[in-house]
Amino acid sequence: MFELKEQDFGRIKPLIDNISHSRALIFSVVEGNLKGRIFVDNMATPKTAFIEGEFLYLVGFEDNTNFNKKLIKYIFDEKIPKSKDKELILFLCSDKWMEIDKMFKKRGCITIQRKTFSFDVDKYKEVRNRYDKITYKDEVKKIKDTSNFGFRIVNNEEIISECMSIAVGSGEAEININTKEAYRRKGYATTVAMEFIDYCISNELIPNWSCWPFRKESINLAKKLGFNEKSDIPAIYWAKNM
């Protein structure tokens, strides 16, 4: 297992060009928009790659036994001991990673799923047209002084609701949205999300939405805003006290 230098990150592009989910999160590292590390099985022509960024991803040839063994050793001997949360969430970019899935299970890991969505711009525009006079629109402020972008509603210096990108890559932007519990179900999240999506459309970016299955409010909001639910993606999960 070898670590690529930043100027060589593009060598894994053949492994990720056809990925249909998480593109902003993966490409943000490859394009240098987000700090990260990339490990490969072969420096010149990688067949398998491990991407460390906002999230962890495995891409490429699945049954790469030698690489898989070294990766698991690196994760449990180096990465987890140095991590603050003592937790692992590793996304597998297909459901064909049977070998490494079994190897991780021997370490006490389980497999979980994350929901992903595709953006339907025509569907969104239909919804958006019904919100010409969005509640709280005049209260929305663009977030400045950040490598990403976003919008928030603030009341007396308290951030009520916020929608911003956590990664931008391959012409796409991954959404992160949060509303304080006391202000939920009042339309704040819809307002900041629409401002975010409008900004994406104006700047020729495709908004990405993903969340955990238990985040029912997030799922409902995604569908409300014109996102179509896609297949879940698998992830390896481990935590110190699980």
Q: Where are the domains of the chain?
A: 2-115+234-239, 117-230
- Residue 106: both structure tokens together: 């021997």
Q: Answer for the pair 53, 29: CB distance below 8 angstroms, yes or no.
A: yes
CATH number for the domain running over 2-115+234-239: 3.40.630.110
Q: What is the DSSP string of 103-167?
A: HHHTTT-EEEEEEEEEE-HHHHHHHHHTTTT-TTGGGEEE--SSSS-EEEEEETTEEEEEEEEEE
Residue 133: what pLDDT?
A: 59
Residues in the chain: 242
pLDDT digits (tens, 9 = 90+) for 141-181: 888 766 789 999 988 888 899 999 999 999 999 999 999 98
Q: Is 133 left (phi over 0), alpha (psi -120 to 50) or beta?
A: beta
- Residue 144: both structure tokens together: 């400045």
Q: What's the pLDDT band for 118 if we cut at 50, 70, 90?
A: very high
**DSSP character for 31?**
T
From residue 50, give the alpha-carbon distance in Å to each of 19, 78, 169, 197, 212: 14, 14, 17, 30, 22
The topology under which CATH files domain 117-230 is: Aminopeptidase (3.40.630)
Please report where in the chains the tokens 């969505």 appear, as a residue.
117
Q: Answer for the pair 24, 208: CB distance below 8 angstroms, yes or no.
A: yes
φ/ψ (deg, to 5) at 170: 55, 30
User: What's this model's pTM, rounded to 2 decimal places?
Assistant: 0.89
Q: Is 86 left (phi over 0), alpha (psi -120 to 50) or beta?
A: left
Question: Who contacts 187 (Cβ-Cβ below 8 Å, separation ≥6)?
Answer: 134, 135, 136
**117-230 shares the fold of 2-115+234-239:** yes
Q: What's the pLDDT band for 108 if we cut at 50, 70, 90?
A: very high
| Beta-bridge mates of residue 40 | 2, 49
Nearest Cα to Cα of residue 235 among 208, 207, 209, 213? 213
Return the SS3 of 36: coil
Sign of CA dihedral 220, 206, 233, 53: negative
Residue 192: what pLDDT?
A: 93
- Residue 169: both structure tokens together: 């890559």
Q: What's the pLDDT band for 86 if we cut at 50, 70, 90?
A: confident
